[in-house]
Amino acid sequence: MEVSLFDLQTGQKAIIKRLKEGEMFRKKLASLNIRVGKTIRKITAQPLRGPVVIEIDNTEATIGMNMAKKIVTEPLGAE
């Protein structure tokens, strides 16, 4: 079952399956090492439309809520 990064549970790992935006969006995410096929873990999401913090390749990255909604993932299970 695919869900957006935004909708992942806190602490859950997932594989990035696809990105719902164009080339500029992909380049912005690539600069943060966020690419299709990568395994990520959602660390936290801030309330009231705040950013989402993820772990990717042992590094934390923070992305906006709207960007997180455009990253489609396949959950691997909760930790």
pLDDT tens-digit profile, the chain (79 residues): 899 999 999 999 999 999 998 899 999 999 999 999 999 999 998 877 789 999 999 999 999 999 999 999 999 964 4
The domains of the chain are located at 3-78
Closest CA to 57 of 76, 78, 38, 36: 38
Q: What pTM value is reported for the model? A: 0.88
CATH number of 3-78: 2.30.30.90
**Predicted pLDDT at 79:** 45
> What is the Cα–Cα distance from 41 to 20, expressed in whole angstroms?
19
Q: How distant is the alpha carbon of residue 25 from its chain centre?
A: 13
Q: Which helix (H) or strand (E) holds 69?
A: helix 65-69
